[in-house]
Amino acid sequence: MFALDPRLQQDTLPIGDFPLSRLLLSNDSNYPWFILVPRREDISEIFQLDVADQQQLWKETTALAEMLKDSFDADKLNVAALGNVVSQLHMHVIVRKREDAAWPAPVWGKHPAKPYSAEQIAVIRERLRLVLTDDFTFLEG
């Protein structure tokens, strides 16, 4: 049975589910930072997914990235699957803007996380509700 790594549970807010992946929002308002976690057990690398799941992960990553680029007016998207700290396979999709706190450097370890307010979370959820319609189920929260 799928279980989210405790560190991801601690540092993120659940948004909803694509057919394969849980969509999370990193609780760091410095950047619109989303994380896709395939709902599969004991997977730490993309190649460990079967071919259909690999294709689905890329489909979900691409769809999310395209939507975020438009909806959040991104100058650049950072997309990465690192896993050095949290080994559970997860894909970062981070909206970058030239005026963000870390630009042009990578976001990791650059600034302390600044948690979202309830109002900010509501605005992001509503923005996502307008564009995530196909093959996506929102979690209430």
pLDDT of 57: 99
71-87 average pLDDT score: 96
**80-90 residue pLDDT tens:** 999 999 999 99
pTM of the model: 0.96
Residue 1 within a domain: no
34-55 average pLDDT score: 98
Residue 117 within a domain: yes
Q: Could you tell me the CATH number of the domain that includes residue 131?
A: 3.30.428.10
User: What burial class does residue 11 get, using C-beta atoms within 10 Å of its C-beta: 0-12 exposed, 13-18 middle, 19+ buried?
Assistant: middle
Residue 40 within a domain: yes
Residue 78 within a domain: yes
**114-131 residue pLDDT tens:** 999 999 999 999 999 999
Q: What distances in angstroms separate CA 35 from CA 53, 64, 126, 127, one per listed residue?
A: 17, 10, 18, 17
Range of the domain at 21: 6-138
Give the count of domains, the chain. 1
